[in-house]
Amino acid sequence: MKIGFLGTGIMGGPMAAHLIDGGHEVYVDGNHHVPKALKEKGVYECNNGREIAEQTELIILMVPDTPDVELVLFGENGVAEGLSKGKIVVDMSSISPVETKDFAARINELDCKYLDAPVSGGQVGAENAALTIMVGGDQQTFDTVLPIFELMGKNITLVGGNGDGQTCKVANQIIVGLTIEAVGEALLFASKAGANPAKVREALMGGFASSKILEVHGERMINRTFAPGFRINLHQKDLNLALANARKLQISLPNTATAQELFNAVAAQGDEELDHSAMVLALEKLAEHKIK
């Protein structure tokens, strides 16, 4: 299959590589950074989204935020200009569920199909083709694209119609943010009380408090390894979506707001590019104690 891939960054790069390894031709925008690994695999370079859409059957987006998706799709020389009847657009970015429904409708008006398919799993999941993929769209289009998804992820679910995949991703980011905060508080408490936080984490991993975040990010907090797998500024963006949509739905998300404020505190110190596990830095500052 000929596949366009726009957004070959920390996660998109490995995802596109898996598609090439799966035997597909992958076309990217050569005017943006193309990882050396993709070039070595024989990726095809085009000048813009329009050219990519003209050359391919399926176009995948993996860009940072809602305005980026809109620009890539509908800006000058964007993907929409190169679409023809029957082509499929798959947005794997994490963006606004409301805007997603509008984007889908505009692509549908061109006699093309649209799936929103945000992912969870970070850089490690992207590199290991182990992403969780949450999909919004119709069953027939999902079935068509499923073999492509299976090259990039393992837990792949059609959640509902367009926008529902993005809603699911926002819910995921609420859980992840709050769990990072809980793990940070627990390890900070243990350390301040004089216990060995590494041993506390080891003990908790065998009980009901066990989680992937305690396993991976708990270790990051203890070892102070905050090189990004998923950056704080991206998690801030996702929690902004949660809080903005909560206002529209007239519901309160008090602990989501607290998690966002802790991210804001770390970002205010200039550390928004660190991994989101570095939320613990804000908790440490409040306690005047570092986990050790």
Which active-site residues does the annotation give?
169
Q: Measuring CA to CA, which residue among 133, 161, 165, 138 is closest to residue 149?
A: 133
Helix (H) or strand (E) holding 155: strand 153-160
Distinct helix (H) and strand (E) counts, the chain: 14, 9
Specify burial of residue 76 (Cβ count, 10 A radius: 0-12, 13-18, 19+): exposed
Helix (H/G/I), strand (E/B), else coil: 139? helix
Q: Measuring CA to CA, which residue among 122, 137, 115 is closest to residue 69?
A: 115
* Residue 250, Ramachandran bin (φ over 0: left; ψ between -120 and 50: alpha; else beta): left
